[in-house]
Chain A
Amino acid sequence: MKNKITKEHSHKYLVFKKLCSNKLLLIFGILTIVIVIAGILAPVVSPYSPYDMQTSLRLKAPSAAHWFGTDTYGRDVLTRILYGIRMSLVVGILTAVISTVIGIILGLLAGYFNFLDTIIMRISEAMSTIPVFLMAITLMTILGISTKNVIISMSIVYIPLVVTVTRGVALQVREQTYIEAIRSIGAKWPRILFRHMMPNVLSPVIVQATYIFASSMLVEAALSFLSCGIPLPAPSLGNILSEARTVIFSSWWLVTFPGICLIIVILGINILGDALRDLMDPLSN
């Protein structure tokens, strides 16, 4: 009798198996991957330009030439959706990365230095009393409406979230013997913080980052929907829906297709986030 741990018993394999066992999630996951790839390859895949207006083709229902129909300016909806997904993904990824990097630095500092802890935590607590969307829209008004400012204001909004998670883990790690040992051999704080403490906070923070990714895409869509986000004519899923709102009663395709694409992409990212959580934290099963 061999008592070997086979591939079938590894944690990664179990998580993968758990994911595949939920057929519905699997289907959505595959759909997301298809949509995301189509979005990334938008300039290659789509035969039209997202800015090309043809007044003779205004508000045409889906057809063989225009799969998802055309909008109020006669632009191809499918093309605009693909470019919109590209835009949403870029904004979401940048927001997640920027807020995570700044949040980790601040969180580690707060978790390691007692005097900084009070200052950083009070400020981030005060910031989290303002609901995410309201904060984002307020910042947008103040900074001015542009794609760059969407990313800046959403990054600011999500920093407190990362700070809280990082600081929580850092407080526990700080008390570990190995940190004490490193300190006793004379390591300086930047080394302790970023080389020895950071690896420990990474896994919960990465899970949080996928959540920020999905949630910032939702916020961006809502901002653009209210014309406070990505400025026209650049397509984003939010401002496509915003334009569609005025003709919702006559042209169903203008709301339905971008709406479903948005839901599927965000669902896919959320599934990814859950899978990552299961993968990194075996106890959550």
Chain B
Amino acid sequence: MAKYMGKRFLFTILTLILVTIFLFLLTHVSGADPAKIMLGTNATPEAVEAMRAKLGLDRPWYVQYFSWISDLLHGDLGTSYYRDEKVSDLLVKYFKPTLALAIYSELIAIIIGVPMGIMQAKNKGKASSVIISTITLIGLSIPGFLLGLFLMFFFSVKIKIFPVSGYKAITEGFGEHIKSLVLPSLALGLSQAALITRTTNSAMLEVLNSEYIKTARAKGVNEKTILWKHALRNAMIPIITVCGQSFAVLFGGAVVIETIFNISGLGTLVYNSISNRDYSIIQGAVLVIALVYVVINLLVDVLYGIEDPRIRVGGKK
């Protein structure tokens, strides 16, 4: 297990290094000059040169990359081009709403997705299974932002149950906090629920066809125990994987939903930085989200080890 995890960890580091190279190259390829962006269009060429020297942009690219990386490792993501704030401070400030949104959406997705998938697999060939698969297909085809707009239209404008927009921190009262995030979480979470339903269904179908389930049925174990205890446990791996991946997808999808519902999270931060061409913030935010993805995948792998002893043993070789 230790060796398996060690190897896995090394790969993770390698992936992260590649992500940083990728992000670094992206801003360099774009040809955007941070010095010009910071000083505005009226700056004299001398002033721009001086700023470039101050920011260290006159050095060769590989020197710039390594100094960027060494700053990164010290927790310094640079300064925003527009606001006089550190990128790391901004990210910390804007991270919480996005995290809350992602967690609630994921909960909605799992609570709806897993039972629906199990029901679909259990009732294979019956009308209810066809209905679930149709709903799933529709769920996969509705863009989150559209769902957000429709939800907002019905629940905030027609029947005024939920606020139209805005975010309330958990410190402002739990009820208000939840209320402000119900619609955005639904808008984000339902398409992921559809994805989880699909995965759960196919994983369960595969397991339910296996020999040991037939054996269990033959010896008279009741259907409920077979479904929830024997089958689900073995269908768990693809389900955990898709749940883990969807969490990262939610972070990415938050950009649109946060702008619609006016939630000041990472997504809004990225969106505003795009119109300002504030690359330092975009770099930082994308890096944080990639880090979330990588960490979650690592956790998923650890869960595999706990869930399935075969993987644990396999790693010992």
Contacts and interface: CB of A to CB of B under 8 A. Distances in A.
A226 B255 contact: yes
Q: Is the interface of A mostly helix, strand, loop or mixed?
A: helix
A263 B149 contact: no
B271 to A, nearest CB: 6
Nearest to A22: B130
Interface residues of A, number: 43
Interface in B113-153: 130, 133-134, 137-138, 140-146, 149-150, 152-153
A74 interface: no
B15 A255 contact: no
A48 B167 CA distance: 42
Interface stretch (B72-80, B285-293, B300-308): B285-293
B149 A267 contact: no
B252 A130 contact: yes
Interface residues of B, number: 48
Contacts, number: 123
A262 B286 contact: no
A221 B277 CA distance: 22
A193 interface: no
A125 B294 CA distance: 10
Contact of A141 (B140, B152, B157, B282): B282
A129 B146 contact: no
Interface in B1-59: 14-16, 18-19, 22, 26-27, 29-30, 32
Contacts of A140: 274
Nearest to A145: B274
B27 A142 contact: yes
Nearest to A265: B141
B253 A141 contact: no
A47 B292 CA distance: 51
Given A131-B253, A132-B252, A222-B143, 15 more contacts: A126-B18, A129-B290, A130-B252, A131-B249, A133-B255, A137-B270, A139-B26, A218-B143, A222-B145, A226-B259, A248-B153, A259-B149, A263-B141, A263-B143, A267-B141
Interface of A: 22, 24-25, 122-123, 125-127, 129-135, 137-143, 214, 218, 221-222, 225-226, 228, 241, 245, 248-249, 252, 255, 259, 262-263, 266-267, 270-271, 274
